[in-house]
Structure formats: C-alpha cells, structure tokens
Structure 1
Amino acid sequence: MNKPIYNLLLADDDEDDCIFFKEALDELSLPVNLVTVNDGVELMRFLDVNVLDNLPDILFLDLNMPRKNGYECLTEIKAVKELSGLPVVIFSTSLDSEIVNLMYEKGAVFYIRKPGDFAKLKKVIGEAFAKATVNNFKQPAREQFILQP
C-alpha cells in the first residue's frame, strides 16, 4: 500500500527555524514535500497562485513575521472560501494564553510553541503531523489544541 505524499507549507521568516524544521522532517522520514515562504505577504501570494489546484495539506504558520504577521494571514485565510478549509498549525515562540485562545477561535488546528531543542522539535512536528492526519486535519477540542514536546 502506498502512503500518500503530503504537501507542507512553512511560513517563517527565521532562516534557522526553517532549516531545523526541514532537518526534523528529514529525520522523521515522513511522506511529505516541504515548501517554505519567508513572510506573510509571500504566504498569501503563494496561496493565491495555488488556490485552485495546489494548496498545501498543512500550513505551519509563524505568528511573528514581517510585512504581514501570522494572525493577519490566518484571518485572511479563514475569510476566503477557497482557503478556509486549509489546516493551519501555529508555530510560534510565544505561548501567551490570550493569543493561543484567539488562534483557536480563528480556526487554527494546533498550536506549537517552538522548542529550542532539536529532539523536542522533531517530536512535536511528528506529533502534529500524526494527530492532524489521524483527525483528518480537523480542529480538536480546546484542551488538545496546544502540542508540547
């Protein structure tokens, strides 16, 4: 039986975080293709170009990006009919409870606080991918929204 290949999109302005994310995916040997964009304007342009036939299966979205932040992007994504079903995993250094609650209300699937340790990063990315695919990319109950390694 062939596993499907999932298309992941990472929107993050931190080059090191993008490299670590890719390395974690490589070590996990997940059936994925990864594309990265470096800010919110680039993200929305990518989604606009690919809206009809090439949307990612999961978007990992950093909140603190230049030009357009993750909150603005999530709000826009959920407001566009063709994009509203895109599963978004917030991937941020912040774990402020007000922000977490707002991201849940806006429709994000999971919230991950970026761990500083590579082994923890690998674990939490694998967990997010596994839970998202098992749950058919749907938002879980609020108490299962935050993923921590």
Structure 2
Amino acid sequence: MSKEHYYLLLADDDEDDCLFFKEALDEIAIKTDLSMVHDGVQLMDFLKINAINNLPDLIFLDLNMPRKNGIECLTEIKENETLRNLPVIIFSTSLDNDIVDNLYLKGASYYIRKPGEFSKLKTVIEKALTIASENNFKQPERANFILQP
C-alpha cells in the first residue's frame, strides 16, 4: 500500500505525547493527515462513525488510556469484520515482553516503545510508515515486530 499520502489516527490520552507526535509528523518527508482521539471509547466511536468512507490508513495506539485501554481496543478492532484489516501500530511507553507477545498474537502490525527524544520520535515514525508500507501493512515475523529508532 505504498502511497504518497497517509491518513493516520493517533489514540493517546497524553496531550504532550500527541503534540510531539504531530510535530514529528510535520518534520518527516512522508505526507500525512492526522486525527487524534484521547481514550479508547473515543477511538471505537470514531472508527464506527468513519467505518464506511473515512477509515485511517493506519492507527497508532497507546496501551494505557482511560475508559478503554489499547489491548481492549485492539481486540475489538480485530474482532470486527469491517475493521479487522486496519493496521494498528502499538505506541506505548512500556515494554513488557509478555504484553508484546500478547499484542502480536492479537494481530497488531508493529510495536514501538515511545522514545524520549524528539529526533528519535521522528526517526521511528518515519521508519514505521516506510517499513509498514513496504510490507503492505502485513504483520512481520515476531523477531521484527518491535521497531527501534
């Protein structure tokens, strides 16, 4: 699905993380449009409302959100016939191998541990978009599931 322009959805409750993510997108070479939601309930409502005409090309999903966490959202997305083929990149501060294994089994496309430095954030977002599109947004082998800046 290599395209010149991607429509992304970021689901993250941390306002600073959302701002850094948007600023990083503005500075990478890949053209994007970004929508944001701030909890899991908003995410699922957004996807249901836009399921017919306006689904994102890719979701960046934080795990630790109020009202409905990222694991619950990923499960709902992958169990929904209309949404199951949506690529979902987990974008979280934690890196617990058992959780990462579970997310892989549930069908997440990639896992990114949120970097603390802005330059690394830009690098890993651009890398994620490039690698995912080259791989046609298919889930890689488990050894390549975690993306590093």
TM-score, with structure 2 as normaliser: 0.97
> What residue in structure 2 maps to residue 41 of structure 1?
41
What is the alpha-carbon distance in structure 2 between the residues aligned to residue 71 and residue 85 of structure 1?
A: 16
Distance in 1, matches of 2:71 and 2:113, equals 15
Q: Aligned residue for 1:63? A: 63
Moved over 4 A (4+): none
Rounded to whole Å, the distance in 2 between the matches of 1:124 and 1:14 is: 18
**1:89 alignment counterpart:** 89
Structure 2 counterpart SS, 1:34: strand
Q: Deviations over 1:14-61 (max 9, x none)?
A: 000000001101010321100000000000000000111110000000
Q: Which amino acid aligns with 1:123?
A: T
Q: What percentage of residue pairs aligned between the two structures are identical?
A: 65
Q: Secondary structure at the match of 1:85?
A: coil
In structure 2, the gaps of 5 or more residues are none
1:63-83 Cα deviation digits (max 9, x unpaired): 000000000000000000000
Equivalent position amino acid for 2:131 in 1: K
Tell me, yes or no, if the aligned pair for 2:4 and 2:30 is still in contact at 8 Å.
Answer: no
The TM-score, its normalising length taken from structure 1, stands at: 0.97
Measure, in 2, the Cα distance between the counterparts of 1:29 and 1:4.
10
Q: What letter matches 1:5 in structure 2?
A: H
Structure 1 alignment gaps of length 5 or more: none
Match of 2:101 in 1: 101
